[in-house]
Structure 1
Amino acid sequence: MPQDSVHATPQTHGPVLVRGRDFKAYRIGGAIVAVLLAIALAAQIWELFDGDARTIPEYRWSATDHTPELGGVQASELVIARTKLQDERWRTGPAPDGDAPDYAFGNEIRLRSTQIEDPDPLLTEAWSNPDSEVLPVIKPSEEVIGMSSLPYVNADLFERPFARDWRLGLADIATHLGALAILGFSLLLALILAVRGRVPIAEGRSGRTVKRFGLLERANHWMTSTSFIMLALTGSAIAYGDTLIRPFGDEFLGAVGWLATWGHMMFFPPFALGLLVMAFAWMRRNLPSKLDIEWLRRGGGFFSDDPDNPPARKFNAGQKLIFWSAILGGAIMIASGVLLMFPFYFLGLDGMSWTMLTHAIVGVLLIAIFIGHIYIGTVGMQGAIEAMWGGDVDTNWAREHHDLWLDELEGKRGGAR
C-alpha cells in the first residue's frame, strides 16, 4: 500500500468556512428525512402489533362420529389414500381421470375437520388432535422430516414444532427487527443532522493535504462496499419482497426475485475477498487502545465545533467499531452464506434452520451499522469522504480528528504518545 505523506495543493477553499446557507440546508434536509422515517417507523410498529400476520391453527382433524366400525385395516387404507391424494401426481397418482381411492371423498369420508374455538398459536395440540378411534391403529414412524396435515400420532415430528420457532424467528424477529433497526437508526441519524447539523472543519480548510489512503486501499474499499450494498439490496428483496415489491405486480416481483436470488450469490465472492484484504491491511491499526476510551467518553468530538477533539491515531474508536463489525459480522455472513449455498451438505435440517436465522439477523444488523458509516462519511462530516474518494484529506481535518496520526507523518514527538 502507498505510504502516507503530507503535501501542499492549490487552495480551492478559503480558511474561513462559510456555513450559513449550505449547512442550514443539511439541517433542513435532515428534518425532512426524519419526518419521513418517523412515518415509516410508525407504520412498521403498527404492523408489528396489529396481529394480522400471525399463523394460528383454526381447524383440527378427527374421525367422524358416525363411523364407530372403523377398524385398523380401514384406517390404514384411509391414511394411505389421503397421503396419495396430497402427494405429487407424477409420483403416486391418482391419475387425473382415475377414480378416487376409497374412504377419500363423498359419503365414504372417514375423517373430518372441525373448527377450533378460540384458536391459540401456542397450543401445540391444536395443530393435530387425533381422537381415540384413530390413535390405536397408527404406528409412529421411525423418523420423518417434513410436514403433513395427516392425523398421525407423530404429528409433532411431521409438523416440527421447531419449524414454528424458525418461522417466528424469520418472519417476526428477523423481519421486524431488521425494519426497526434500519428505520430506527436512520431516524436517529436524521434527527442528529437536523439538530446538530453537519460536523464542520472547525478551523476551515488549510489548503494543504495529507495522503490518507492509497489507490489499492481505496479500490478494495469501494469493491467491498459496493458488493455489500448489492448484497443488502438483493437480500432485502428476498426478505421483504412480498411487502415492498408485490404491490407493483406479481410478474415484477418474480423478475426481481429471480435477479435477487442469483445476484446475492454473484456479489458474495468480491465481498469476501475485500474483507480478507481489509483484515490484512488494517487489522494492526484497528486493535483497541486506551485512547479509544477517551474518544468514546467525549463522543469523538462530534457534538461540538471545538477543534480540540479527543486524540486519535489513523483510526479512531468509531472507525474501529465499524471495522470489527465488518470483519466479525462479515465472517459470520460469509460462513452462514456458504452453508446456505450448499444445503444439507454440512448440516441437517435444524442446523440449516439456525443458519438461515443467523444469516438474516446478522445481515439486517450490519445494514443498520453501515448506514451509520455511510452517513458519517458523506453528509455527516465535512471532508470525510475525500479520504476514500481521492485519498487526500485537508490537514486541518486530519489535525482535528486524527492528530496523533498527523504527528507521526510530520515527524513530531507528539506522534509517539
Structure 2
Amino acid sequence: MHIVVLAEFAVASGGAEKVAVESARGLAEAGIDVTYLQAIDGPADPLLDHARIRRIGLGNTDIWTRPAHRAALDGLWDAAGAARLGAALDALPVRPDLIHLHQWTRSLSPSVFSALFARGLPVAATLHDYFLACPNGVYYRFDTAAPCTLKPLSASCIAAPCDGRSRLHKLVRVGRSVALRTALKEHPLDLIHVCDASVARMGALLTGPGFTHHRVDNPVRVEKGPPADPARGEAIAYVGRLTREKGADLVAEAAGAAGLPALFIGAGPLEASLRARPGVEVLGWQAPDAVWDILRHRARAIAAPSRWYETGPLTVYEALANGLPVVASDRSGACEKVVDGVTGFTVPPEPEALTRAFAALGDADRAERLGAAAHARYWAAPSTLSAHAAALIAVYERILAARGAPRRESGRIASAA
C-alpha cells in the first residue's frame, strides 16, 4: 500500500502537524510506503527519516505572509498552489492508493481538493478543526468568547463578527467556505475524527452522501515508564498557545483562587498579562522532551480548559500517559479520556468550577491517587504509534474496499478486500 500524507509543515509546530508526522512514521514502521508532501518550505522532523518515507516539498509560502490583496485572493483559490500539488502527484514513480490530508488552510486553499479529486484517488481528511464546515475554523465566536450555535454559512453566520482577526478576515473566510463547498460538491470524501465529540458535532454539520465518517484516536508518542509523582509537584500546568479560547487566563485565575502556583509552557497573546500575575511562571516554548521532564517534576496536574470545542489536545493524552492528573474542559473532545474523579476532573471552562477542581488537587494524597489511576488506565489501552497506524490502515482498507479500488502492496497490485 502506498499512502500520500499531505500537510502544510513537516515539523510538529502544532497538533495537526504533530499527528501528520507521527502518522507517517507509524505507517512506515507498519510496512506502508509513504510519500509525505510538505506544502510550505521549511525543516523536517527527524521522524520522517525512514526508508519507507519519501518527503517532497511543494515550495509554497504561508498565504498570510503574502501582501494583503494577494493573501485574500489566494485564500479563496490558489491555482498556482494546486498546480504544484498536481504536478508533484503526477510525478510520483508509483501511483498512490489513497491521499490522506491533514491541513490545507495556510497555503493550499480549497483548490487543493480540485487537484486531489482530479487524480481519481480516494481522499481522506483528518478533522483537527472545523474548517470543513465553519468559516473561522473553530466553531467559536471570538466576539462573545463562546462556542458558536449558528448554522455555518447561514445569513446570521455571515453577518456575525466572530472572527478572531477582523471582519475582513471573516469575509475572506466566508468566501473560502463557499469555494470549499463548491470544490467538495458531488465528490466522495472520507472524514477521520479524532474524538467522539467530533463525530457527533461535525457529523451533524457535514451530512450528505459524499461524506463517510471514521473514528481514529490521535497517536501519543510517550514511552512507557514509571508514573510521575504529582504529590511532589506543586503547580497547575498548562501547555499550549496562550489564548483566551484555549482558557489560559482561566488557569491563572483559578489556580490563584485555589492557592496553587500556575506554570505555563507556551507563548501567545496573553503572555504579558499572565506574567504580570502573582504566582504565575511562563517558560515559553520548550523542546518536546524538555516539556515532560519539567512537568513530571513540577506539575501537580495538567489543565486543558478550552472555551471552544477543541477536538483533542494532545497534552491531555500525554499527561495521562505520564501519570499526571488532568483537569479538562467538558467542551474538549479529549475530556472523554478523563474519568471524572478517578484520573482527573472534567468541568465547564469557568473560574468557579476550575477553582474547585484545583483545590481538590491541593490534597497531595488525592493527586497521587489520581495520577496513579491515570497511568494505569492509559497503559491498559495505550494510543501508541503502532495502534494508531493499525487503526489507520484498517480505515484505508475499508475505503479502498468501498471504492472497489485495487491497492498496491510492496510494489504489486493487491486486492482491496
Compute the TM-score of the two structures, normalised by the length of structure 1: 0.22
Instruction: Return the structure number with greater relative CO, CA threshold 8 A, min gap 6.
Output: 1
Structure ID, larger Rg: 1
Relative to its length, the structure with more strand (as a share) is 2
Compute the TM-score of the two structures, normalised by the length of structure 2: 0.22
